[in-house]
């Protein structure tokens, strides 16, 4: 739900076509995210109305979308290279809408689980990223990805606030129906607003390359970050198996009033988080801030575990929780970008993204089982344990290199000239690493922005404008 601070060369502004692509694709991401997450703050409050309900099955219903999405998003991206981006996005949105309608019509908890699994089967995230790459020039691509990332973050916050309000108006089945309507709205945006790409091509910086999976999975630094995003979303899902019930049963806050807690919580959390992000990047203190945020999140979970049942206590705890959560959500993609070789970034991000969804699945399922066995305390205990394990792994990770990904269009090269061009580019001040794919005509660079001699570097770029 955040952007990565990468940079590319070139003009400062997007073309009108790139702006249209950025806004329209961000809108599709946002309405889909709204649909998936509006259910989060309210589902366990009313799940007992479904036949066959148990807390474990309610947790499974919350998280099961993550399993199907985590398994299918990379294959969807690959299929879109062959069959086109818009056809695969269309199929994904129709599957997502069908899953929403199945859940809306459900009488049993098993039908809700099937509906949520089908929702996740519309795994279009990787295809949307590939389409964003098709519709943007190299020098603006990462800015577009960042814009989409910010829109996802806003959609998540809006979903958490609007879910309780919408539930009061139309109930759980109504929320699922609204989710199906949002999927159709996303289809309308796709065909009316999203430009058609002039050509569909593979983008190594945004798409997963199967031949690189082994290399990325052997990288222990990247694996620490994959484990981190998995734990982060596991903890989010597990916490929301229990937290809405605690708000009602222990704090006495009626479900229709929950939005009044979430709105100030999110506003305060973002306001507190932003200075830490700026400090981490500008002062090169990313690792201490990152490790500290994991510790703070663990403290929030332990605070929930040890009690305090007033609305004020729970609200303040959730300000701490979401400040750390949003900071970590924003930092992790940046760390993946810094830690991964430039030409493996797309593959690293693909595995990272799948880890995030699998984490949501584990969190829903494990949270439900824990709640069934040991109540809310059991949920908070497993979440605290997972965070403390992550804290240990994060503490032992290397300090990130303060480099950014930089794409340079150099034109197609003869294979015999690649090594010479790599040496030439690395000799430019501020270029730390260069990889060239001769057929793509793009140099994937890692650069130190503050030291980069852009003028010298741009001598080797080709200008298509």
**pLDDT (0 to 100) of residue 4:** 40
**Predicted pLDDT at 38:** 96
Query: Is the Cα torsion angle 96, 223, 146, 212 positive or negative in sign?
Result: negative
pLDDT at 463: 64
Same fold, 15-196 and 212-402: yes
Helices marked H in 193-251 = 213-217, 220-249
Contact partners, residue 51, CB within 8 Å, separation at least 6: 107, 108, 109
Superfamily of domain 15-196: MFS general substrate transporter like domains (1.20.1250.20)
pLDDT reported for residue 270: 94
pTM (2 decimals)?
A: 0.91
Q: Which CATH number fits domain 404-458: 3.30.70.100, 3.90.1150.10, 3.40.50.620, 1.10.3720.10?
A: 3.30.70.100
Domain boundaries, the chain: 15-196, 212-402, 404-458
pLDDT by 10s per residue, the chain, length 465: 443 444 444 445 788 999 999 999 999 999 999 989 999 999 999 999 999 999 999 999 999 999 999 999 999 999 999 999 999 999 999 999 999 999 999 999 999 999 999 999 999 999 999 999 899 887 777 788 888 888 988 999 999 999 999 999 999 999 999 999 999 999 999 999 999 998 888 877 788 888 889 999 999 999 999 999 999 999 999 999 999 999 999 999 999 999 999 999 999 999 999 999 999 988 889 999 999 999 999 999 999 999 877 999 999 999 999 999 999 999 999 899 889 888 888 999 999 999 999 999 999 999 999 999 999 999 999 999 999 999 999 999 999 888 888 888 888 888 888 889 989 999 999 898 888 877 778 888 888 878 888 888 888 888 644
pLDDT of residue 12: 52
The CATH homologous superfamily for domain 212-402 is MFS general substrate transporter like domains (1.20.1250.20)
User: CA separation (Å) from 413 to 192, 409, 422, 436, 463?
Assistant: 38, 11, 11, 9, 16
Residue 196: phi, psi to the nearest 5? -85, 130
């Amino acid at each position: 739900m955040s952007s990565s601070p990468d940079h590319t060369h070139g003009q400062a502004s997007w073309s009108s076509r790139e702006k249209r692509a950025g806004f329209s694709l961000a809108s599709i991401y946002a309405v889909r995210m709204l649909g998936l997450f509006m259910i989060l703050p309210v589902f366990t409050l009313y799940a007992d109305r479904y036949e066959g309900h148990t807390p474990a099955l309610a947790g499974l219903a919350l998280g099961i979308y993550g399993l199907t999405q985590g398994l299918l998003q990379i294959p969807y991206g690959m299929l879109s290279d062959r069959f086109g981006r818009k056809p695969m996005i269309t199929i994904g949105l129709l599957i997502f809408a069908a899953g929403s309608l199945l859940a809306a019509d459900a009488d049993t908890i098993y039908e809700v689980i099937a509906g949520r699994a089908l929702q996740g089967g519309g795994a279009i995230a990787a295809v949307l990223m590939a389409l964003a790459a098709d519709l943007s020039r190299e020098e603006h691509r990462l800015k577009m990805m960042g814009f989409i990332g910010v829109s996802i973050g806003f959609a998540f916050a809006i979903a958490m606030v609007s879910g309780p309000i919408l539930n009061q108006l139309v109930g759980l089945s109504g929320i699922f129906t609204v989710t199906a309507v949002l999927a159709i709205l996303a289809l309308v945006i796709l065909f009316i607003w999203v430009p058609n790409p002039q050509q569909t091509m593979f983008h190594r910086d945004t798409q997963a390359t199967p031949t690189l999976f082994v290399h990325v999975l052997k990288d222990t630094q990247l694996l620490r970050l994959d484990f981190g995003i998995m734990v982060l979303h596991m903890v989010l899902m597990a916490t929301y198996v229990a937290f809405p019930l605690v708000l009602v049963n222990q704090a006495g806050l009626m479900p229709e009033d929950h939005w009044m807690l979430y709105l100030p919580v999110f506003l305060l959390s973002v306001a507190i988080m932003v200075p830490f992000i700026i400090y981490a990047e500008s002062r090169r203190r990313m690792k201490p801030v990152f490790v500290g945020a994991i510790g703070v999140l663990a403290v929030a979970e332990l605070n929930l575990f040890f009690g305090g049942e007033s609305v004020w206590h729970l609200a303040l705890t959730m300000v701490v929780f979401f400040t750390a959560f949003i900071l970590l959500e924003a930092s992790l993609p940046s760390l993946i970008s810094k830690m991964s070789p430039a030409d493996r970034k797309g593959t690293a991000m693909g595995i990272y993204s799948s880890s995030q969804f699998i984490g949501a699945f584990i969190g829903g399922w494990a949270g439900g089982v824990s709640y069934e066995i040991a109540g809310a305390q059991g949920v908070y205990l497993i979440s605290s344990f997972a965070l403390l394990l992550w804290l240990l792994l994060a503490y032992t990770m290397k300090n990130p290199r303060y480099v950014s990904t930089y794409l340079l269009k150099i034109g197609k090269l003869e294979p015999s000239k690649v090594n010479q061009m790599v040496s030439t580019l690395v000799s430019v001040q501020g270029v730390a690493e260069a990889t060239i794919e001769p057929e793509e005509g793009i140099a994937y660079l890692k650069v130190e922005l503050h030291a980069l001699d852009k003028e010298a570097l741009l001598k080797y770029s080709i200008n298509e404008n």
